[in-house]
Amino acid sequence: MARRNVEKLAERREELQDVKAAIKMILGGAQSYSIGTRSLTRANLAELRKWKKELEDEIAALSGGSRRFKQIIPVDR
């Protein structure tokens, strides 16, 4: 079971790197382009950001940690 999680974690990290690269390309102006009468539109930036968050959450869960942090401030009464 642990070996399977290690493999899954590696796959998710690789996917995350691909998603980050795609986001970077879109932010660099590679969202869409046309050549003559043909055009190509890449993935939607909002969808990629959502996918990125899902991957980060899954990676955190597989790593045994949490991506979310809460700050606890003691209060004297």
Query: Is the pLDDT assigned to residue 65 strictly greater than 90?
Result: no
- pLDDT digits 0-9 by tens, 16-44: 999 999 888 888 887 777 788 888 777 78
DSSP 3-41: HHHHHHHHHHHHHHHHHHHHHHHHHTT-SEEEETTEEEE
pLDDT, average across residues 53-72: 79
* More confident: 32 or 77: 32
Query: Is the pLDDT assigned to residue 15 strictly greater than 70?
Result: yes
